[in-house]
Chains A and B, each alone.
Chain A
């Protein structure tokens, strides 16, 4: 199984809502990532978890809150988002060692209204 599964595929939320994005992998990878991608732009790294601990936060606003409950799951909790946060949110996983590839999910298309 070389899949990274993200749910939901699409999400529309109001600026006062609280929602969560979910990501799951069963490849035994111990590094997991969240990216944000706007149209016609490259993916922007948001967070990196290594061995279930947050190791990199790329100065992401606190309205985005990541969580890694176990080595297979990664969540992104969303609260009080702005319309400019609308984007494709991508999850990825890899082994935190040399010479390995990262596997990406299909993403969650988020629209904030």
Chain B
């Protein structure tokens, strides 16, 4: 499984766009890039997933360059409720998928 590296923490302010970058140099052909959000004492929640180029949903955008060795999660116009830990994962789907979490980025949003 490809190891992921992301910043330990980030700070931003309400209304700003936040970009969290994740490095996954050893990503394999069949791997997908997936991001989860976790609030304290809750289970992680799926945010977005992509294979290449750009994916957008109602919550976030995911940018993946052609070499797929990194990815950027973009959160538009963050609010205080976006304060959480964000995990970047590389997942190889099979009949027994290993969903392995890296160390995550602790995002703090200030008023």
Partners in one complex: yes
CB pair B44 A43 closer than 8 Å: yes
Q: How large is the interface on B (under 10, 10 to 19, 20 to 34, 35 or more residues)?
A: 20 to 34
CB pair B98 A45 closer than 8 Å: yes
Proximity string of chain B (68-111) to chain A, C-beta cutoff 8 Å, 1 when within and 0 when not: 00000000000000000001000001111111111110000000
CB pair B96 A56 closer than 8 Å: yes
Chain B residues in 8 Å Cβ range of A1: none
Number of A residues whose C-beta is below 8 Å from B? 29
CA distance A20 to B41 in the complex (A): 20
CA distance A97 to B94 in the complex (A): 6
Chain A residues in 8 Å Cβ range of B99: 33, 45, 92, 94, 102
The number of residue pairs between A and B whose CB atoms lie closer than 8 Å in the complex comes to 65
Q: Which residues of A, 33-68, contact B by the 8 Å Cβ criterion?
A: 33, 42-45, 48, 50-51, 55-56
CA distance A105 to B44 in the complex (A): 8
Closest to A58 in B: B98
- Min CB–CB distance A3 → chain B (angstroms): 11
CA distance A105 to B34 in the complex (A): 18
Interface SS of chain B:
loop
Proximity string of chain B (15-59) to chain A, C-beta cutoff 8 Å, 1 when within and 0 when not: 000000000000000001010000001111110010100000000
CB pair B49 A102 closer than 8 Å: no
Interface SS of chain A:
strand
- Min CB–CB distance A1 → chain B (angstroms): 16
CA distance A32 to B1 in the complex (A): 19
- Min CB–CB distance B108 → chain A (angstroms): 14
Closest to B42 in A: A106
CB pair A101 B49 closer than 8 Å: yes
Which 8 residue pairs across A and B have the least CB separation, nearest first? Answer: A104-B43, A55-B96, A101-B46, A42-B101, A98-B93, A50-B96, A96-B95, A43-B101
Question: Beyond A43-B101, A97-B93: 15 further Cβ-contacts under 8 Å?
Answer: A4-B43, A42-B104, A45-B98, A50-B95, A51-B95, A92-B43, A96-B93, A101-B34, A101-B49, A103-B46, A104-B44, A106-B42, A107-B41, A107-B43, A109-B41
